[in-house]
């Protein structure tokens, strides 16, 4: 059989067309767009009145909306609301939310913040959100000043009979009485009381030492109920039913076996941002804890929080524009990237970077892992369509609030696109 030149040429041409077709199909589309009107206004405001360094913005119009969603939920369920201080780590922000939400209840997780809260919010009712080493509790009492009365207004969260005994000894040494809230494992498996024997051991100690210990309630935290576990495993409804079966059993045990420690004013705390809406369906717990949902960072884009809106953004200025992406050592060969990908035809170096955050506006920006991340001046790429000039702001959405909010100095609170407050964060 002779070589079929025409056939070969046809086949080669055909596969070339197919390859080009597949290539065009694989080639990244232009994802760049200019700012929306919302971010365009924030950009103008920051250029006129901002510090031109990375800042954390909190949009009070959006926070108001989120507060009102939470308020309506707790009103429907007849529960109280407790604000999670570590997730909103600025006294000014906490005060603002507490006033609009009409709650003086806080959940604290850190002794230095707790001492601060006791001074800043002398009327607050504070529940610890994790069991602290007894030395931390001792330090709290050593440093505590002012009218906040821990023997009435503070509940220590405790998880084991051993730690309870350490706190009892602390109370004895201080000549005071400590209010004790018991951490329940309602399915999170992050410690806490997991069975009746452990609960009994703790209740026994409390009953035996009324001069030093007062039983104040239970805390059962269940974020997994709203975190979007694959529905094949369990629906949120089923998960909530399991959580509440455990919670109910612990409360029943108390009522039947320790009726002297039971009273209707006990704090039966539950939930967190991912699960608080689901607790509208039960009436055992007396209160829900909510923090992060007030600001809705990106990891909280959950079905249970669909009524909430993002309310915190990082803003940082563009310091340099350097054109098409250009990687050290590759130099001119870097052109292949911008030739292939229209979203690498513009390069911006921003002030700071490498935060736990996603690019928000203008749309279509990406960090460059090949070039490397930087906390000082991070490379950001996009297409020319993003329309960013020097000293325009890049906006990012934090993935979580608690540690990210502490990284920028004062929070800048904005309303209707204008800076209206500077709120210091905890330190």
Ligand X SMILES: Cc1ncc(COP(=O)(O)O)c(C=O)c1O
Give yes or no for residue 272 binding ligand X (CB under 6 A): yes
Lay out the site mask for ligand X across 39-78 (x = CB under 6 A, - = otherwise). Answer: ----------------------------------------
Asked whether position 292 contacts ligand X by CB under 6 A, the answer is yes
Q: Which one of 77, 108, 212, 289 is in contact with ligand X (CB under 6 A)?
A: 289
Distances (CA, A) of 398 to 161, 273, 314, 318, 355: 39, 16, 7, 18, 8
- Cβ(372)–Cβ(395) below 8 Å: no
Q: Does 89 bind ligand X (CB under 6 A)?
A: no
- Nearest distance in Å: CB 272, ligand X: 3
| 11-19, 28-36, 284-292, 333-341 -> range binding ligand X (CB under 6 A) | 284-292
> Torsions phi, psi of 213, nearest 5?
-130, 135
Q: What part of residues 199-228 is at the interface with ligand X (CB under 6 A)?
A: 221
Q: Does residue 87 bind ligand X (CB under 6 A)?
A: yes
Q: Would strands 393-398 and 213-220 be described as parallel, antiparallel, or unpaired?
A: unpaired
Closest CB 84 distance from ligand X, rounded Å: 4
Cβ contact 325:339 at 8 Å: no
Which segment (20-28, 111-119, 201-209, 289-297) binds ligand X by CB under 6 A? 289-297
Residue closer to ligand X (CB basis): 131 or 382: 131
Nearer to ligand X, 70 or 388 (CB): 70
Cβ–Cβ under 8 Å, residues 327 and 370: yes
Q: Which is nearer to ligand X, 291 or 364 (CB)?
A: 291
Assigned token pair, 278: 């689901």
Return the sign of the alpha-carbon dihedral for residues 205, 210, 211, 217.
positive
Contact call for residue 291 and ligand X (CB under 6 A): yes
Q: Looking at 236-244, 283-291, 326-334, 387-395, which segment touches ligand X (CB under 6 A)?
A: 283-291
Name the CA radius of gyration of the chain, rounded.
Answer: 28
Nearer to ligand X, 296 or 345 (CB): 296
Q: Which is nearer to ligand X, 168 or 308 (CB)?
A: 308
Give the closest residue to 284 by CA, choosing from 246, 238, 322, 333.
Answer: 246
The alpha carbon torsion through 112, 355, 416, 39 (nearest 10 deg) reads: 180
Residue 107: half-sphere exposure toward Cβ, Cα within 13 Å: 27
In the complex with ligand X, the residue whose CB is nearer, 50 or 220, is: 220
By beta carbon distance, the residue nearest ligand X is 272
CB of 423 to ligand X, least distance (A): 18
Please select the residue that binds ligand X; options are 273, 326, 334, 381, rule is CB under 6 A. 273
129 counts as binding ligand X under rule CB under 6 A: yes
Beta-bridge mates of residue 387: none
Give the separation between CA 119 and CA 112, rounded to whole angstroms: 11
Q: Please check whether residue 297 is in contact with residue 404, taking contact to mean a CB–CB distance below 8 angstroms.
A: yes
Whichever of 67 and 365 has its CB closer to ligand X, that residue is: 67
Q: With CA atoms as reference, report the closest residue to 273 among 234, 303, 315.
A: 303
User: Near ligand X by CB under 6 A, which window of 256-264, 290-298, 303-311, 347-355?
Assistant: 290-298
Binding of ligand X at residue 156 (CB under 6 A)? no
Beta carbon nearer to ligand X, 33 or 280: 280
Residue 361 found at the interface with ligand X (CB under 6 A): no
Helix (H, G, I), strand (E, B) or coil at 378: strand
Q: Is 312 in the site for ligand X (CB under 6 A)?
A: no
Contact 82, 127 (CB under 8 A): yes
Can you tell me the distance from the alpha carbon of 414 to that of 68, in angstroms, rounded to the nearest whole number?
18
Cα 341 off chain centre by: 34
Least CB distance to ligand X at residue 279 (A): 12
Residues interacting with ligand X, by CB under 6 A? Answer: 84, 87, 107, 129, 221, 272-273, 289-293
């Amino acid at each position: 059989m002779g070589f079929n030149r025409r056939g070969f040429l046809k086949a080669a041409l055909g596969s070339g067309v197919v390859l080009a077709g597949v290539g065009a199909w694989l080639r990244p589309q232009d994802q760049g767009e200019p700012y929306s009107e919302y971010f365009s206004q924030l950009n103008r405001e920051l250029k006129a009145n901002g510090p031109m360094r990375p800042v954390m913005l909190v949009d009070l119009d959006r926070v108001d909306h989120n507060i009102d969603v939470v308020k309506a939920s707790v009103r429907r369920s007849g529960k109280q609301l407790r604000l999670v201080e570590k997730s909103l780590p600025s006294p000014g922000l906490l005060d603002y939310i507490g006033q609009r939400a009409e709650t003086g209840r806080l959940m604290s997780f850190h002794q230095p913040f707790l001492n601060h809260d006791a001074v800043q919010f002398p009327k607050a009712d504070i529940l610890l959100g994790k069991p602290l080493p007894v030395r931390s509790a001792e330090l709290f009492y050593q440093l505590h000043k002012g009218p906040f009365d821990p023997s009435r207004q503070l509940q220590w969260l405790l998880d084991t009979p051993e730690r309870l005994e350490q706190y009892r000894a602390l109370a004895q040494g201080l000549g005071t009485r400590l209010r004790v809230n018991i951490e329940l494992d309602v399915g999170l498996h992050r410690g806490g009381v997991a069975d009746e024997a452990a609960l009994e051991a703790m209740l026994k100690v409390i009953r035996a030492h009324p001069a030093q210990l007062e039983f104040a309630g239970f805390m059962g935290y269940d974020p997994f109920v709203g975190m979007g576990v694959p529905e094949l495993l369990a629906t949120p409804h089923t998960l909530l039913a399991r959580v509440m079966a455990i919670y109910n059993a612990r409360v029943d045990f108390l009522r039947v076996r320790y009726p002297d420690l039971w009273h209707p004013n006990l704090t039966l705390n539950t939930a967190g941002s991912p699960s608080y809406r689901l607790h509208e369906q039960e009436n055992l717990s007396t209160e829900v804890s909510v923090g992060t949902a007030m600001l809705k960072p990106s990891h909280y884009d959950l079905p249970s929080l669909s009524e909430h809106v993002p309310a915190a953004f990082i803003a940082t200025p563009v310091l340099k524009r350097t054109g098409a992406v250009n990687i050290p050592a590759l130099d001119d060969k870097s052109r292949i990237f911008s030739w292939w990908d229209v979203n690498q035809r513009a390069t911006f170096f921003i002030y700071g970077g490498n935060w736990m955050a996603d690019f928000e506006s203008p749309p279509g920006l990406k960090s460059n892992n090949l070039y490397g991340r930087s906390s000082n001046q991070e490379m950001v790429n996009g297409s020319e369509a993003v329309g960013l000039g020097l000293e325009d702001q890049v906006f990012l959405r934090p993935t979580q609030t608690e540690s990210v909010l502490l990284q920028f100095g004062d929070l800048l609170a904005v309303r209707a696109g204008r800076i209206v407050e500077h709120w210091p964060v905890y330190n």
